[in-house]
A and B are shown apart, each in its own frame.
Chain A
């Protein structure tokens, strides 16, 4: 069965510093991986996804994620954090083979960026 794990409940970063939010996955077959962000009192927003191709995926708001097959990881990164990046971040994997199936979400990581 497909699954994702987000090992950190919270990540604290100073504004201007690089940030990383970790995600590892377990899939049978080729992984379809996603990152979503939830700002306070808002719904979920799609950030980026990996299906095939380059291991470094660029997404919205300056975020990017690096797919690492050998480490089964899909960490979310940003070179310079902003206070406005403070939010809840969810990693997800698509259930089933190919592009069919539902999304399986991690439990979320709270990112706190301090001025």
Chain B
């Protein structure tokens, strides 16, 4: 079973619609992240959370909001989707194991806003 799962994997929506992308993890990590990937721009951080009560804006948070419902769940919302939010979205967690810290990424959600 995957350690970090994202739903849906693909989504097509229309401009102005509200949409939520969900992320769940079984790693038991406190830290979770949302990134978006655009061609030629690499990965950019949208929001991150270091524990359930801690939410922080990343590089490109405008137009997005997040909710950390539990340690294992971190959802990303687009309140009113616009076409330039068309991208591949990745959720990630990070944690320590045997003195080493590593990020684990979900499979990605491909979002198309028409």
Contact = CB atoms under 8 A, between A and B. Distances in A.
Contact of B41 (A34, A43, A46, A107): A107
Interface string B83-103: 000000010100000000111
Interface string A7-48: 001000000000000000000000000101000001111100
Contacts of B108: 42-44
A103 B33 CA distance: 10
Interface residues of B, number: 20
Contacts of A103: 43, 45, 103
Q: Is the interface of A mostly helix, strand, loop or mixed?
A: strand
A102 B102 CA distance: 11
A63 interface: no
Interface string B37-52: 0001111110010000
Interface residues of A, number: 20
Interface of B: 33, 35, 40-45, 48, 58, 90, 92, 101-108
Interface of A: 6, 9, 34, 36, 42-46, 49, 90, 92, 99, 102-108
Given A36-B105, A46-B103, A105-B35, 6 more contacts: A44-B108, A46-B104, A46-B105, A103-B45, A104-B45, A108-B40
15 contacts: A36-B105, A43-B90, A43-B107, A46-B105, A90-B42, A92-B43, A99-B101, A102-B45, A103-B43, A103-B103, A104-B45, A105-B43, A106-B42, A107-B40, A108-B40
